[in-house]
């Protein structure tokens, strides 16, 4: 089947060259961004054949698909918005991964109707970052408003569902905003998710962090949080620095 036969109006195929993955995107409703690539890179490798991974707020499935070589086993992608979930399903097909991936078009609040509690080894989430405001409610692009603002889910629900899905000592991974760090750490711990590793992402040298990556372990031992070296995305000239360049395009020969 020709890849373009999987496309609908106003869609394109983008490639993450470093992982040889193609993703169906639509500029008018949703496209993965650097945070998805960074979260996938932050996840620890695990090639166990029976590994069970769940991606909450999966969008067009980018993060899960970026991990197809790094994690073994099966993936469940959970996405609320029907059009975006449909793109995720077709991206799975495009990459020939239908034997390992399934896409559930549902609210993450209902995930236990389809995925048993305490069954996942790894849970990923790139949630909406921003609390709801009058402005976000009026955003004419509903797809983007739901992806960016806590209109249909929030941090509390994400933590609750992540904890419920994970087996004891299972690993959760989250990308979020540093200005909510205190709330994030508190909420995670309230749901038996012990923060173990954190990385701050800075847009340019000398600029404040604008993103954080967090790894938690369900019912992990208290303490022992590692703050790993920060990642700076671009130089002062606006071009990606070599580490980010490699994440996007692979090693340049």
- Asked if 61 and 16 touch (Cβ cutoff 8 Å), the reply is no
Asked if residue 51 has pLDDT above 60, the reply is yes
Tell me, rounded to whole angstroms, the distance of Cα 192 from its chain centroid. 20
Residue 178, burial from CB neighbour count under 10 angstroms (0-12, 13-18, 19+): middle
As a whole number, mean pLDDT of residues 66-80 equals: 96
One DSSP character per residue, 85-135 reads: HHHHHHHHHHTT-TTTEEEEES-GGGGGGTS-TT-EEEEEE----B---HH
As a whole number, mean pLDDT of residues 5-9 equals: 77
pLDDT in tens, 209-234: 999 999 999 999 999 999 999 999 99
Asked if residue 34 has pLDDT above 90, the reply is no
pLDDT for 144 equals 55
Residue closest to 46 by CA, chosen among 67, 69, 72: 72
Q: What is the CATH number of the domain that holds 240?
A: 3.40.50.150
- Asked if 202 and 208 touch (Cβ cutoff 8 Å), the reply is yes
Residue closest to 215 by CA, chosen among 175, 155, 159: 175
pLDDT for 216 equals 98
Q: How many domains does the chain have?
A: 1
d(CA 89, CA 98): 9
> What's the Rg (C-alpha) of the chain?
17
- Quote the DSSP letter at residue 73: S
- Asked if 62 and 124 touch (Cβ cutoff 8 Å), the reply is no
CA distances 142 to 29, 47, 137, 150, 232, Å, are 8, 37, 8, 12, 31
DSSP H helical segments within 149-241, as ranges? 155-165, 181-190
- What pTM, to 2 d.p., does this model score? 0.89
Measured at the alpha carbon of residue 36, what is the angle toward residues 149 and 143, in degrees to the nearest 5?
35
pLDDT in tens, 171-212: 999 999 999 899 999 999 999 999 999 999 999 999 999 999
As a whole number, mean pLDDT of residues 43-51 equals: 97
Supply φ then ψ for residue 105, to 5 degrees.
-90, 90
pLDDT for 17 equals 80
Compare 154 and 82 and report the one with higher pLDDT: 82
As a whole number, mean pLDDT of residues 53-59 equals: 94
Residue 220 lies in domain: 3-249
Query: Predicted confidence band at 253 (pLDDT cuts at 50, 70, 90)?
Result: very low
As a whole number, mean pLDDT of residues 18-46 equals: 86
């Amino acid at each position: 089947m020709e890849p373009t036969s999987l496309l609908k109006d106003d869609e394109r195929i983008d490639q993450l060259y470093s992982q040889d993955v193609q993703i169906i995107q639509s500029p008018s409703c949703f496209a993965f961004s650097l945070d998805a690539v960074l979260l996938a890179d932050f996840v620890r490798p695990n090639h166990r054949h029976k590994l069970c991974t769940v991606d909450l707020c999966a969008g067009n499935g980018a993060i899960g698909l970026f991990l197809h070589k790094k994690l073994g086993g099966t993936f469940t992608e959970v996405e609320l918005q029907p059009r975006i979930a449909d793109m995720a399903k077709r991206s799975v097909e495009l990459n020939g991964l239908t034997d390992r991936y399934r896409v559930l078009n549902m609210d993450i609040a209902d995930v236990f109707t389809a995925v048993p509690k305490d069954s996942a080894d790894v849970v990923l989430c790139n949630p909406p970052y921003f609390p709801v405001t009058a402005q976000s409610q009026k955003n004419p692009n509903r797809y983007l408003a739901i992806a960016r603002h806590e209109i249909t889910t929030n941090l509390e629900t994400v933590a609750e569902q992540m904890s419920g899905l994970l087996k004891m000592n299972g690993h959760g991974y989250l990308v979020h905003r540093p200005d909510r760090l205190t709330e994030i750490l508190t909420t995670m711990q309230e749901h038996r998710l012990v923060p173990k590793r954190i990385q701050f992402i800075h847009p340019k040298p000398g600029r404040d962090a604008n993103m954080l990556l967090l790894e938690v372990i369900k019912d992990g031992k208290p303490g022992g949080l590692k703050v790993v070296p920060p990642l700076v995305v671009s130089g002062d000239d606006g071009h990606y620095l070599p580490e980010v360049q490699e994440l996007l395009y692979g090693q340049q020969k």
